[in-house]
Structure 1
Amino acid sequence: MTASAQSAGVAARPGRAGRLLLGGFLSLAILMGIGRFHYTPLLPLMQREYGFGTDVAGLVASVNFAGYLLGSILSALVPRGRPRLLAFRIGILTSVATTLLMGLTDWLPAWLALRGLSGMASAFGMIAAVGIVSEALGRVGAEERLAWVFGGVGCGIAASGLLTEIGHPALSADGLWIAAGLGCLALLPLVLSEIGERDLGAPPSTGATGERPQPRPIAFWPLLVNYTCEGLGYSVFATFIVTIVKSQPGLDHLGDFVWIVVGLAGLPSNLLWSRIARRIGFAAALALCYVGQIVGVALPALGDGPVPAVAGALLFGGTFMAITFLTGPLGRRSLGGRGFAVLTAGFGLGQMTGPLIAGLFVSGPEDFAAALLASAGILAFGLLFLLGAMIWRPAATA
């Protein structure tokens, strides 16, 4: 091979990798940022237009999280190759369809069915997409670039908040669901063409790779309690924060902006925290993430006005995806390689119950401030178990 041909091959690999990363980024924006979280900025408007309370709001969110748990379990049964690619395509098509259909009905049983199916599709498509992209990157020693893909979740969240901010009052809640679905539909041809099982070229000849360093293992069962608490504690903020802000006197205009801040903070969060983890260790970085999230969840309950709301959104958005990103490597090799599947099940159970309990809690004598403080307390309880898992590390190192 000539020198020019070799140069062309080297140049082609980053281009192909970049296109795959873009496909993964947009996939997570559609599946998670919109499909899973568009409900949050629309919730106050839906409650105003349809007249349901926080108990129903929590139920709808919990059904979506239950679907996500079921989708996560089912995705573990899908083998690599063509079945996984088919699973991705089914997941993302279903996610877009359920987003559109939410704007075509006001019947609660239909909402529950659609949000449950949407949760399944989000997990099914996301896990397949991340698996396809991460394995392709790993073969060329560029697995660290996967952090860019998870930025798509933050981008989708910010887009959902921006759409709600600029679309209302010209559009009703129904219209905003349909607008979001049409926007995702427009991106589908690009996503479907770029996500696939593909060869990105030969790995670097130097032997150096960009893979994330493997963390030292920590005790598994305390980590499971910790991650279950994360599912329960984070889900209340993620479901109700826009409603909480808009319920405060004089802050109705700030609710959608707060959700945009959550998304923008989440966009670079995995890149930032992965670099911190390389310096101080995965477990220590994860503990710092929890401290930031606990403060972020508690702030809107401890003070009124725009500053606590925006600061809380910034801290929450900058940590909630990174917690999952850092927990994965810590638990993946436990239980004979099934550790992260068990952790995901615990997380799923926690996030499924969080909005339901909070909705019932707030529909009674308590208010959202009490629900947020309870969530922060649950997260702090989980942090204690994480610290215990770090203290009682297994003797072997990774």
Structure 2
Amino acid sequence: MKPIETIKVLAASVIAVVVMVGIARFSYTPMIPEMVAALGLSKSVVGMLATVNYAGYLTGALIITRISDLGLKFRLYQLGLVVAVISTVLMGYTTNVWLWFILRFISGLSTSAGMLLGAGLLMSWLIKHNHKSELGVFFSGIGLGIVLTAVVAQLIKDDFTWDQQWVVYGLVALVLLVPAWRWMPDYRTCALPKTGAAGTGEERSRFIRLLQLAYFCAGVGYVVTATFLVAIAEAMPKLSGQGWLVWLIAGLAAAPACWLWDLFSRRWGQWLALYLAYTLNSVSILMLIVNTSMASVMLSSVIYGASFIGIVSMMLAMVGRVFPENPSRPMSRLTFSYGIAQMLAPAVVGYLADVEGSYTNGLWLTLIVMAMGVVVLHLARRAQQRQGESVAAG
């Protein structure tokens, strides 16, 4: 495999993540203040629009757990790219809330294709071509997507109305689709032979269930900030008009963090890296509660961007290595839990914000869930250790 070909494959994967996750999902975050100002949307509607997007994401994850045919995965991955563009553009052509719900749901389906099918297909390609089975480069596309949506939001907010802004995001996605499609390898040639599963089925099942629960907690920590960070910043008098900058900083922190977490994991171990990432994510939430100064919110966004992306990258890479013959399936099982969190948490926090007039109690609830996640993560580690001891004894 020539280095230039490897670079093209990795670039295509990253660009696809920017389209299907960065734009299809994250363009909504800087659009919240624009739509609220123009249309007077309530916090509950804002939260529900995020919820249906994650419902689509969850549905996609469920579908992927049922798919083992590599050719079908590849075709659905390509379809996800097209759907990401169309569902984004059409958001600007209606003010019907129910049509928005449908479009955000469809967008969520494309995001699951980009995240899960994309990660699984790339993992198979890396293993097939004797590259390190790490997904840090792949998940850097999430951070880059955040950066892109933040920059575009700032460039177009004064010259375009809210509906035109959605169309602009869609056109940017269309332009990016071209290199992602052209440089994409034929993943159908990357099928790997099935391997014997280490440890008993009961032990592996317990390990995966615990990992799913820990990932659910991480999903709550991720989605509350991802959905409301810009709105929280804009609600602070000192940060009015600076929400886009807070979002940009989160993306700038996330983009290189994936590689840094890979390096940290190699040196200190994946479990210590995950403990640290969970802890840092919790700290970023706490900072939004206890200090509303511009410096504190900016630092919180840096820590948030660097930590959530590390959790996603390391968790999915871990199960991908455990199940190399079909990595998308266990990734989807974890993402099913993550998707439930992403579906429920924005609606709950949005409701609390409507009732109480602030996001404070919703953030406290999120912080408690993240603390529980650290405990469950430790239980998952112990389950994996017992699994290893069982294999050695056998």
TM-score of the two chains, using structure 2 as the length reference? 0.88
Task: Assess if the C-alpha contact under 8 Å between 2:71 and 2:188 holds in 1.
Answer: no
Task: Provide the rounded CA distance (Å) in 2 between the counterparts of 1:372 and 1:153.
Answer: 23
User: Quick one: structure 1 residues 381 and 128, their matched pair in 2 at CA, closer, same or farther if it must change by over 3 Å?
Assistant: closer
The match for 1:232 is 220
The match for 2:302 is 314
Alignment partner for residue 248 of structure 1, among 236, 241, 253?
A: 236
The match for 1:64 is 53
The match for 1:327 is 315
Alignment partner for residue 86 of structure 1, among 75, 83, 108?
A: 75
2:177 counterpart of 1:185: no
Task: Assess if the C-alpha contact under 8 Å between 1:232 and 1:375 holds in 2.
Answer: yes
Q: CA deviation at 1:126?
A: 3.4
For 1:171, what is the secondary structure of its paired residue? coil
Q: CA deviation at 1:188?
A: 1.8
User: Quick one: structure 1 residues 45 and 285, their matched pair in 2 at CA, closer, same or farther if it must change by over 3 Å?
Assistant: same
The match for 2:253 is 265
The match for 1:212 is none
The match for 2:198 is none
Alignment partner for residue 176 of structure 1, among 160, 165, 168?
A: 165
Q: CA deviation at 1:358?
A: 0.5
Matches within 5 A, 1:109-258: 109-144=98-133, 146-197=135-186, 219-258=207-246
Count of residues in correspondence between the two structures: 371
Alignment partner for residue 91 of structure 2, among 91, 96, 102?
A: 102
User: Quick one: structure 1 residues 118 and 154, their matched pair in 2 at CA, closer, same or farther if it must change by over 3 Å?
Assistant: same
1:197-234 residue CA offsets vs partner (Å, 9 max, x unmatched) = 16999xxxxxxxxxxxxxxx894443332211111232
Task: Assess if the C-alpha contact under 8 Å between 2:120 and 2:331 holds in 1.
Answer: no
For 1:182, what is the secondary structure of its paired residue? helix
Alignment partner for residue 290 of structure 1, among 278, 303, 307?
A: 278
1:11-31 residue CA offsets vs partner (Å, 9 max, x unmatched) = x61111111111111000000
Alignment partner for residue 343 of structure 1, among 315, 319, 334?
A: 334
Please report the RMSD computed on the Cα atoms of aligned residues, expressed in angstroms: 2.3
In structure 1, runs of 5+ residues without a counterpart are 1-11, 202-216
Q: CA deviation at 1:340?
A: 4.0
Higher relative contact order (CA 8 A, sep 6+): 2
| Bigger mean CA deviation after superposition, 259-268 or 366-375 | 366-375
Task: Assess if the C-alpha contact under 8 Å between 1:91 and 1:122 holds in 2.
Answer: yes
Task: Assess if the C-alpha contact under 8 Å between 1:17 and 1:137 holds in 2.
Answer: no
The match for 1:367 is 358
The match for 1:386 is 377
